[in-house]
Amino acid sequence: MKTIILTLSTILICANSAFAQLDSIYEQGGYRTFKIHLPAGYSTNNQYPIVLNLHGLLSNGTQQQSITQFDNIADSKGFLVLYPNATGNLKSWATIGNSDVDFLSNLVDTIRSNYSANNCLFVTGFSNGGFMTYKFANNTPHTVSAIAIGSGNMSNSLKNTSTSAPQIPIMHFHGTTDNTVPYNGTSPFISPVDSTIQWWVQHNNCNPFPSFTAIPNSNLTDSSTVEKYYYGDGTNGSEVTFYKVLNDGHTWSGATPIPAFGSTNQDINQSTIIANFFDSFCTATVGINEENSNVSSISLYPNPFDNQLIIQLAPNTDYTLILYDNLSRQVLKERFYDHSTINTDYIPNGIYFYEIRNAEKLLKTGKVIKH
């Protein structure tokens, strides 16, 4: 893993460091700080998606990095991850006004000017960082590819003023016993979470009738279970996915429990689910320069598929295909040479995420649907 320190106008590369380093940019008369994590094998010959990972109230980027454990996932997915810091005594994101929207937008511009990033921009956040994720997606001049919110919400004032909000893929996680950002809202400022989900379903013109999945209760010690609601068929490929975490507190599912904030569900790994979600909505090159590889000659079809998938590879090549379900469980791993037909009779209908690798690196990722 390589770590980048962008110290004002100077770029230093520190190899073999275990942590991203604190850095700063000059913004509105002062310095704003952030951390940056470059994926393993970072190269200027490739281009990488940017992920903004926003911390909660009274926290910071370092703690968000520790809670979400996003760096290892970023290495496998080829993500460039930013952990910016909010300001003030409460370390709170400014969800009223645009000062932090401007800071985050300028940060993205700075990173794109100094690093090899593609046009995919993803945002995720916890608690106050979740509120800021909704705010940023609605107000930034940048095109946001998808967002994922954990234990945050969207204020009523933002809903009332978001007449030009983008129609983008949304993912939201929330515990029903969250006492910090209550599931049922805090009238009149914040509506119940269900209301926010329905706002996005209507805004994205999604199918109002969700597909429902009861997530297997694989961990019996966390006092919590998960229900998944998926609303598809939105405008421009947008969708809404809601993970309703029953009897769960103000937490990040799959993270180390903090009892003071309630139960932490361990049936799912929230960070892995978010990473797969983001990965499926980046159509640009992910960690690969196609001009210098055989990626353009790799294809997986048909999509949607039924009882078989066909993988088309470059001549005289040896690749591995890995298929994951929407809970990040591996359902298929096979090695192929040239062209192969894969029997998928045993795979249930649903959405799947794939990786195609050779012996050295990840070559291609994407999403396929079985009908």
Tens-digit pLDDT profile for residues 325-339? 766 677 888 888 777
pLDDT attached to residue 16: 34
User: Do 157 and 184 have their domain in common?
Assistant: yes
Give the CATH number, domain containing residue 302. 2.60.40.3080
pLDDT attached to residue 292: 35
Does residue 159 lie in a domain region? yes
User: Do 269 and 302 have their domain in common?
Assistant: no
Does residue 266 lie in a domain region? yes
Does residue 284 lie in a domain region? no
- Give me 231's structure tokens: 């609303």
Helices (H), 38-154: 61-68, 70-77, 99-114, 128-139
Encode pLDDT of 158-177 as tens digits.
998 877 788 999 999 999 99
The upper half-sphere exposure of residue 329, i.e. CA atoms within 13 Å in the direction of its Cβ, equals 11
- For 178-182, 210-214, 278-282, which range has the lowest pLDDT when averaged over its residues? 278-282
Q: Which contacts (CB < 8 Å, 24+ apart) does range 251-256 have?
A: 251/151, 251/175, 252/67, 252/68, 252/126, 252/150, 252/151, 252/173, 253/150, 253/173, 253/226, 255/67, 255/68, 255/69, 256/67
User: Do 198 and 228 have their domain in common?
Assistant: yes
Q: Is the pLDDT of residue 64 over 70?
A: yes
pLDDT attached to residue 362: 76
Q: What is the Cα Rg of the chain in Å?
A: 20
User: Do 275 and 294 have their domain in common?
Assistant: no
Q: Which residues pair with 173 in a beta bridge?
A: 150, 243
Give how many domains the chain has, as a whole number: 2
Q: Which residues pair with 321 in a beta bridge?
A: 334, 356
Neighbours of 195 (CB within 10 A): 15
User: Do 336 and 248 have their domain in common?
Assistant: no
User: Do 179 and 294 have their domain in common?
Assistant: no
User: Do 18 and 139 have their domain in common?
Assistant: yes
Q: Is the pLDDT of residue 6 over 60?
A: no
Encode pLDDT of 343-361 as tens digits.
888 888 877 888 888 776 7
Place of tokens 């370390």: 91
Provide the domain limits for residue 261: 2-279
**Mean pLDDT, residues 298-321:** 83
User: Do 195 and 149 have their domain in common?
Assistant: yes
User: Do 198 and 298 have their domain in common?
Assistant: no
- Nearest Cα neighbor of 241 from 223, 226, 222 is 226
pLDDT attached to residue 5: 37
User: Do 94 and 141 have their domain in common?
Assistant: yes
Confidence of residue 366 (pLDDT cuts 50, 70, 90): confident
Domain boundary among 279, 303, 319: 279
Domain boundary among 220, 249, 279: 279
Place of tokens 């029953």: 246
Greatest mean pLDDT among 72-76, 114-118, 193-197, 282-286:
193-197
